[in-house]
Amino acid sequence: MPLARAAGRLIIQKLVPLGYSNRRIMRAVRAQGFGYRTEELNNDINLFAGRVKNEWHVRKLNDNDVVPEFLMTPGEFGQPYKYRVNFQSNYYDIDTDSYVTVDESMYTSDYAKIGDWKEANELRTKRDYEGQGLEFINSNVISVELQQ
C-alpha cells in the first residue's frame, strides 16, 4: 500500500466517528498532502464508516442467487483469494442474555451462491466461537469485494 494511502487511512479513521461527509473527509486528507485517487479514497471512507457500496442490493438477493460482478466492490487485500465476503452475523450471548451483531468477513476463491457462503461462514464461526458463550443465530451477506 502506498504511503499516501496509508497516511490517508489514518486520517480517515479519526474523522469518520465525527460524522463528517465523504467530501469533507476527502478535503481534509488532501489538505494534509496525502491525496490519492478519488475512487479509492471514497472506498476507504466507506469502509471505515461501515457504509458499503451496493449493500442494499446485495441484501435483497436470495440464498440461491450469486452476487453479480457489477455489485461487487473492487478491493485490494493481501490474501491469495479472489473474493472477500462481508457478513453481518447475529449471536446470542449466553453470559449476558443478550443478542450481539458482529461484522465479519471471509476470504474465498469460490464464486458461489449466497446460501453457500452463509453456510461456510456459519461453520467457520461456530468453530471459532466454540466455548466462548456465543450461540450463532444467522448471518447476512452485506457485500462482496473482488480482488483487483
pLDDT digits (tens, 9 = 90+) for 103-143: 899 999 999 999 999 999 999 988 888 778 889 999 999 99
Mean model confidence pLDDT for the chain: 88
Say which amino acid occupies 16.
V
The mean pLDDT of 52-80, rounded to a whole number, is 87
pLDDT bin (cut points 50, 70, 90) of residue 43 is confident
Give 10-24 pLDDT, tens digit per residue. 999 888 877 788 899
Integer Cα distance of 135 and 90 in angstroms: 9
Contact 11, 28 (CB under 8 A): yes
Cell numbers at residue 88, please?
A: 453481518
pTM of the shown model? 0.68
pLDDT at 62 over 90: yes
